[in-house]
């Protein structure tokens, strides 16, 4: 049986006797803890920020383009172009119940957009209301995204990328204003919220002018969709949905569903998974470096425990003489090592937390920070560091404690 109050009292007494040594060990532990916490916190911040940035283009979506057949099928030769038509999204949605959203998209580069005296040559994008969810076309306050009624009525309304809005309107509020696209009047109904976009297939969304796809088709007369964007209910079904898209489109356009080149599909979720794995790898690497720093502190703990045991050999002998089992001696020293680790770790964790919280509150406007994020200490990091500290405390305490428990009571009673 171990009396924790006694263990604590002995620890405090030792602290007074070995103030300098214990203080230095606590410092080393604190320093090691801060290193690992900040490294992991930095990794976490990077992870969070990059994940947000990655979702800038869209979350768990696939982009579908037309292609060219490479396998002859039902009497039709290879090399046929497969185009996407405006009816295809509805057709696929009906055939594939796993699809949550699907919508077609048109592009036109170099359209003249005019407001007042200013004329810009821009990228016009014909889209559907589903892009709000699939492609993160979130409107700023005071405006809205293209809706179903805009689609049905083929309204001449425009949703502006935030970068484009700056270039055309500057600080002026564009909502309700009229702009001219290739001479045709459009009303601005919304501006996209600023977002960090790390990937794209048709240029950055912030520079686009989006109008309803139906209006686009009427105005520009495009025969084919440029691409289709879709998102399944469950990202785990991405591959099976892809297969079904090939099958459904193969029936519709008469090509072999195994003809990979008949359509082109970019599964962004797969990229996200690989990207996440890479970030996890970086985090493990950072954690490993931090653990090495902490390991040095662990050696310090073991060292101080060995010294403490040497100085207290007689005490161990006395306890054994009055009936202490070896396991008691073992636990006593183990708990002491854990106490040192606990206090050092607690100090390091508190300082790390204060540092990262302070850093979050410093108002720095920086593109580097927009990209890298700010160090964040999550509960997960806390648990990882506590586990590492715990394991380190046990290992660095166990060997000295085993030595203490193995002393010969006769010898130790003679020890001065």
Partner 1 sequence: MIDLCKVTKTYITGTVEFKALKDIDLQIDRGEFVAIVGPSGSGKSTLMNLLGCLDVPTSGEYRLEGHSVNKLTSNQLADIRNTKIGFVFQAFNLLPYATSYENIEVPLLFAKVSAKKRRDRILELLALVGLADKLNNKPTELSGGEMQRVAIARALANDPDIILADEPTGNLDSKSGTAIIEMFHQMWKSGKTIILITHDMKLADQTQRIIRLKDGAIDGNGNLA
Residue 310 engages partner 1 in binding (rule: CB under 8 A)? no
Residue 323 engages partner 1 in binding (rule: CB under 8 A)? yes
Residues from 227 through 256 that contact partner 1 (CB under 8 A): none
User: Judged by CB under 8 A, which stretch of 9-17, 67-75, 172-180, 255-263 contacts partner 1?
Assistant: 9-17
Candidates 15, 319, 355, 378; binder of partner 1 (CB under 8 A) is 319
Residue 266 engages partner 1 in binding (rule: CB under 8 A)? no
Q: Nearest distance from residue 415's CB to partner 1, in Å? A: 11
Q: Which is nearer to partner 1, 10 or 145 (CB)?
A: 10
- Give me the sign of the Cα torsion angle 202, 207, 212, 215: negative
Q: Nearest distance from residue 272's CB to partner 1, in Å? A: 58
Q: Which is nearer to partner 1, 306 or 328 (CB)?
A: 328
Angle between helices 326-361 and 379-405 (to 10 degrees): 150
Candidates 93, 252, 326, 403; binder of partner 1 (CB under 8 A) is 326
Residue 3 engages partner 1 in binding (rule: CB under 8 A)? yes
Terminal-residue alpha carbon distance, the chain: 27
Residue 315 engages partner 1 in binding (rule: CB under 8 A)? yes
Residues from 377 through 416 that contact partner 1 (CB under 8 A): 408-410, 413
User: Judged by CB under 8 A, which stretch of 52-60, 277-285, 320-328, 340-348 contacts partner 1?
Assistant: 320-328
Q: Nearest distance from residue 301's CB to partner 1, in Å? A: 21
| Residue 6 neighbours by CB under 8 Å, 6+ apart | none
Residue (of 28, 108, 35, 58) closest to 302 by Cα position: 28
Residue 307 engages partner 1 in binding (rule: CB under 8 A)? no
User: Judged by CB under 8 A, which stretch of 8-16, 72-80, 129-137, 390-398 contacts partner 1?
Assistant: 8-16
Contact criterion met (CB below 8 Å) for 123 and 208: yes
Output the six-digit token pair for 117: 């005296």
Site string for partner 1, 327-346 (x = CB under 8 A): xx------------------
Residues from 81 through 100 that contact partner 1 (CB under 8 A): none
Query: In angstroms, how far is CA 79 from the centroid of its own chain?
Result: 41
| Residue 12 neighbours by CB under 8 Å, 6+ apart | none
Candidates 141, 322, 358, 368; binder of partner 1 (CB under 8 A) is 322
User: Judged by CB under 8 A, which stretch of 4-12, 63-71, 345-353, 379-387 contacts partner 1?
Assistant: 4-12
Q: Nearest distance from residue 395's CB to partner 1, in Å? A: 24
Q: Nearest distance from residue 314's CB to partner 1, in Å? A: 7
User: Judged by CB under 8 A, which stretch of 132-140, 270-278, 322-330, 351-359 contacts partner 1?
Assistant: 322-330
Contact criterion met (CB below 8 Å) for 299 and 16: no
Q: How many chain residues touch partner 1 (CB under 8 A)? A: 24
Place of tokens 């696209």: 181
User: Judged by CB under 8 A, which stretch of 264-272, 286-294, 318-326, 357-365 contacts partner 1?
Assistant: 318-326
Please tell me the distance from the alpha carbon of residue 294 to that of residue 225, in angstroms, as a whole number.
58
Q: Which is nearer to partner 1, 118 or 325 (CB)?
A: 325
Please tell me the distance from the alpha carbon of residue 161 to that of residue 125, in angstroms, as a whole number.
11
Long-range contact pairs involving 7-10 (C-beta distance under 8 Å, separation at least 24): 7/332, 7/335, 7/336, 7/339, 8/339, 10/332, 10/336
User: Judged by CB under 8 A, which stretch of 2-10, 27-35, 263-271, 289-297 contacts partner 1?
Assistant: 2-10
Q: Nearest distance from residue 347's CB to partner 1, in Å? A: 25
Residue 309 engages partner 1 in binding (rule: CB under 8 A)? no
Per CB under 8 A, residues contacting partner 1 are 1, 3, 6, 9-10, 13, 314-315, 317-328, 408-410, 413
């Amino acid at each position: 049986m171990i009396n924790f109050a006694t263990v604590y009292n002995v620890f405090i007494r030792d602290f007074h006797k070995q103030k300098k040594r214990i203080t230095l060990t606590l410092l080393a532990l604190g320093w090691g803890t801060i290193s690992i916490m900040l490294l992991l916190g930095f990794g976490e911040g990077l992870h969070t920020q990059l994940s947000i940035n990655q979702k800038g283009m869209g979350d768990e979506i696939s982009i579908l383009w037309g292609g060219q057949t490479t396998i002859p099928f039902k009497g039709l030769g290879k090399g046929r172009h497969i185009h996407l038509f405006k009816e295809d999204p509805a057709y696929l949605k009906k055939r594939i119940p796993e699809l949550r959203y699907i919508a077609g998209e048109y592009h036109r580069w170099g359209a003249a957009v005019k407001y007042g005296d200013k004329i810009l040559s821009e990228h016009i994008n014909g889209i559907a209301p589903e892009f709000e969810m699939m492609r993160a076309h979130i409107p700023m306050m005071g405006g809205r995204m293209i809706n179903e009624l805009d689609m049905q009525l083929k309204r001449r309304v425009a949703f502006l990328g935030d970068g484009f809005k700056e270039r055309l309107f500057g600080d002026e509020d564009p909502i309700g204003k009229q702009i001219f696209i290739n001479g045709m009047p459009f009303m601005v109904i919304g501006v996209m919220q600023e977002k960090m976009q790390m990937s794209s297939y048709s240029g950055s969304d912030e520079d686009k002018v989006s109008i309803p796809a139906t209006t686009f088709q009427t105005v520009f007369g495009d025969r084919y969709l440029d691409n289709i964007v879709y998102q399944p209910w469950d990202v785990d079904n991405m591959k099976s949905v892809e297969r079904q898209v090939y099958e459904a489109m193969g029936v519709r356009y008469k090509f072999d569903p195994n003809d990979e080149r008949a359509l082109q599909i970019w599964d962004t979720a797969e990229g996200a998974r690989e990207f996440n794995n890479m970030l996890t790898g970086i985090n493990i690497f950072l954690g490993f470096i931090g653990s090495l720093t902490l390991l040095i502190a662990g050696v310090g703990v073991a060292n101080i425990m060995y010294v403490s045991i040497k100085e207290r050999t007689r005490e161990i002998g006395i306890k054994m003489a009055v009936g202490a089992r070896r396991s008691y001696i073992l636990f006593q020293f183990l708990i002491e090592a854990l106490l040192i680790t606990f206090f050092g770790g607690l100090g390091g964790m508190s300082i790390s937390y204060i540092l990262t919280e302070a850093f979050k509150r410093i108002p720095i406007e920086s593109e580097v920070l927009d990209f890298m994020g700010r160090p964040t200490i999550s509960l997960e990091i806390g648990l990882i560091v506590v586990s590492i500290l715990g394991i380190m405390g046990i290992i660095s305490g166990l060997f000295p404690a085993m030595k203490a428990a193995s002393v010969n009571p006769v010898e130790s009673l003679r020890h001065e």
